[in-house]
Structure 1
Amino acid sequence: MTAGALAPPTAFAAPKQDTVQQGLNALVREGQPAALASVEDGEGRTRTYVAGVGNLATGAKVPRDGQVRIGSNTKTFTAVVVLQLVGEGKVDLEASVDTYLPGLVRGEGIDGGRITVRQLLQHTSGIPEYGDDISDEELPHRYFEPRDLVDIALKHKAEFEPGKKWSYSNTNYVLAGLIIQKVTGRPLAEEIDRRIIKKIGLRHTYFPAPGDKSIREPHPRGYHRTKAGEPLRDFTELDPSVAWAAGQMISTNSDLNRFFGKLLGSDLLLAEAQRTQMRTTVPIEGTRFHYGLGLMSRPLSCGGVYWGHGGDIAGYETRGGVTDAGRAANVAVTSIPMEEAGINGVLKVVDTALCG
């Protein structure tokens, strides 16, 4: 293990060049600066893997189980807090957004009185995306208040009538975060920390404070390009407020495995009734994937499905989840793949790990 590396919860020796390692090596050959993975076998035994270099400028090694920005995996954390509040009788999934944020959600064809909390969490609200209006040049340095993000989205007309279709929109989860703050009277980051991170012992997971552009613990550098063919730029230092409740968090692959494992395999975070709601899905058109309440199911080549989310934020992509048998895997790469083959390559390594 490299100096300063983060030790996984329980480690055992991985055979050299096993199929997961081969998959990470292939991702690096195809252009990823670095690739990292953590695989848990369902009995608490974990293998961690790395490939590539952690810093293109210095050639530094990739820190084993290093921290990365987890992007939209944050949505699952946000959804868990909302569903905890449902279990406490403080939020109703069928209530309108106006019940908790009166008058905030208004625009062309957009009425918060006709959109439910469930539709926010399931991306069936029709509320437009804000991210398309934010340039890559703004990303590293600009701080956004959550309501700034909502205001950007509401300049656009509704994508469809609530409940009629599925369309991924980060705005849905910014609004879910605002509902959490309104109902609890506390900051979103504090509620996630208290209700999830501390409760299940995620030692390397946190919600960055306002203005914090850094990554606290050993980590590979993250790189970004706007379009295929452009040179990679270092985007490690980034103000993640542009993602907030939809994608601001930092974690490790092994912590994500623990989170999804405890979420789906125990009552520590959610009661069975709320887990059932979370796993009640709608199909994602044009794919074999389904989306629940902040949770996705994807088919496995060996049969069955796995449950997780995944996330992209400039500099990093993460994919993974857990099977019903309790096997868990998460894979991170240090740039967002621009081509479909690259995206599928990361998913293929997850499939290899979960079917192994």
Structure 2
Amino acid sequence: MRTTTGRTGRAGRAGRAGRTARLVAAGVLGAVLVGTSAPVAMAAGAAGASGGGAVAVAAPGAATGANPVSPAFAAIQGELGAVVDAGEATWDLARVVDRGRTLWQGTAGVAELDDRSAVDPDGRFRIGSLTKMFTATVVLQLVGEGRVRLDDPVSAYLPGVVPGGERITVRQLLDHTSGLFSYTDDQRFVPRTAEGVEAWAATGRWRTWTAEEIVADAVAHPPYFAPGASWHYSNTNYLLAGMIIQKSTGRTWNQEVERRIIRPLGLRQTSMPVSSPLITGPHAHLYTQLPGGPVDTTLINPSAGGAAGAGISSTADLARFHAALFGGRLLRPAELAAMKATVDTGVPGYRYGLGVGSVDLGCGVVWGHSGSIHRNIAYVLGTEDGRRQAVVAAGQYGYRDPDDVFAGLEKAASCAVAGSGAGTGS
């Protein structure tokens, strides 16, 4: 459920299923975020800093004095610490919510390597491709208003922008069956060499990109397949979706997400920046390993992510958004049904709808997305009715495939939501 470099499949996890699945939903700036160069030795003091801990809140109706920390929550905390102790992340955190109430939250690692400050469990982080859930929701709201039609061709809204755009529908953009080349497969946007990563850390991360120039570069590449013929995660699809929002409303996708989702839901820790490199409020730092040692690269210009991955949020806000979306507060029944009409991704156990995916990691089906941007990894997973959520975020430090690194954490979070051991009721 995530996507990091545009490789086929990825958004969940069931052995190989989760492997390709997760890489698929985090996509923006994937290589730099999740690592693409050879492993570099851990900086002194980063490993073994699991620290942190868990805070449990008794489930509604729990007996006074009863221990509310279920095996499911303990499993998540164990995975949080294991990833940090292995030197693959400098920090991570998680929250489990039931019917709007936080049942449990935990952290591991340190917020900053220099002073080893504690991780704030309520802190903010970049959400990468979780942004797609917001973008798709706005497009579907416009569908409900009769301003966009899912089976209209892209050329009806963006004439001349996409070669063959008359054969690609809006629906195919949102469910990744367009066949369009993903710009994050291009090293201009995602460096995959040590030299490229160094150049990005020094100057490239400050560059401002427009969706139009990125799309123009992407569509100059041959498509992966004819529209509708297969499935391939492509971040280009969602830059185009953001452009359609602007064409249909006269306002940018960022403004429409703010107006239609963030403000109505009171998501005070969520923002959709254009080019500001800042993360306001409490947040843990991110580091890129270079030959000379780790460099703090928390600050980046997120414009290359755009409607595909520029967002910032918190575990509490993401849980609230998921609950509102799947609980029917943001979309009418017809549009919510369209969002959940999934296609085969070719990854066992993982299907993709319109900006959301469903995945079965062996303990029940959950819905949501995953994301990654510049080494910030995030997941939101929840029940189809929006009653329960698990949200996870991490600052990756090592250079192993994030699908291997975070497999156990993703599964533990999924099972805490979908399984019977979370103490959340049924």
Give TM-score scaled by structure 1 length. Answer: 0.89
Give the counterpart letter for 2:341 in structure 1. Answer: T
Displacement of 1:343: 3.2
Unaligned residue ranges in structure 2 (runs of 5+): 1-54, 59-66, 192-196
Answer yes or no: is the 8 Å Cα contact 1:24–1:349 preserved in 2. no
Cα distance, 1:344 vs structure 2: 1.1
Whether 2:401 is the aligned partner of 1:342: answer no
When structure 1 is superposed on structure 2, of 139-148 and 186-195 the one drifting more is: 139-148
Query: Map of 1:168-247 to 2, 5 A cutoff?
Result: 168-210=233-275, 212-224=276-288, 232-247=294-309
User: Counterparts in 2 of 1:283-302, with a 5 A limit?
Assistant: 283-302=344-363
Distance 1:146 1:14 in 2: 47
Of the three residues 114, 129, 143, the one matched with 2:182 is 129
Give the SS at the match of 2:331: coil
Which structure 1 segments of 5+ residues have no match? 1-7
Judge which range, 51-60 or 76-85, deviates more. 51-60
Identify if the C-alpha distance between structure 1 residues 270 and 19 changes in structure 2 by more than 3 Å, giving closer, same or farther: same
- State the Cα distance separating 1:330 from its structure 2 match: 0.7
Query: Displacement, 1:347?
Result: 1.2
Q: Number of residues paired by the alignment?
A: 339
The answer (yes or no) to whether the contact 1:121–1:173 under 8 Å persists in 2 is yes
Rounded to whole Å, the distance in 2 between the matches of 1:158 and 1:300 is 31
Equivalent residues of 1:38, 1:331 under 8 A apart: yes
CA distance in structure 2 between the partners assigned to 1:98 and 1:225 by the alignment: 43
Residue 85 of structure 1 corresponds to 142
Give runs of aligned pairs for residues 37-116 of structure 1, distance below 5 A.
37-42=94-99, 44-106=101-163, 111-116=164-169
Q: CA deviation at 1:52?
A: 0.6
Question: Greater relative contact order (Cα 8 A, min sep 6): structure 1 or 2?
Answer: 2
Query: SS in structure 2 opposite 1:59?
Result: coil
Q: Distance in 1 between matches of 2:408 and 2:292?
A: 20
Q: Is the 8 A contact 1:129 1:171 kept in 2?
A: yes
1:254 and 1:35 mapped to 2: Cα distance? 15
Q: 1:313 aligns with which of 370, 373, 389?
A: 373
> 1:60 deviation in Å?
1.1
> RMSD value over aligned CA atoms?
2.2
Provide closer, same or farther for how the CA distance between residues 307 and 221 of structure 1 changes in structure 2, counting only shifts above 3 A.
same
Query: For the residues of structure 1 that align with 2:182 and 2:162, how far apart are their CA atoms?
Result: 13
CA distance in 1, matches of 2:181, 2:267: 33
Query: Hey, what does 1:251 align to over in structure 2?
Result: 313
- The TM-score, its normalising length taken from structure 2, stands at 0.75
Secondary structure of the 2:406 match is: helix
Match of 1:4 in 2: none
Contact 2:93/2:105, CA 8 A, preserved across alignment: yes
Q: Is 1:24 aligned to 2:62, yes or no?
A: no
What per-residue deviation string (whole Å, max 9, x for no partner) do you get for residues 18-38 of structure 1? Answer: 222122111211221001101
Where does structure 1 differ by over 4 angstroms across 4 or more consecutive aligned residues?
A: 10-14, 229-232
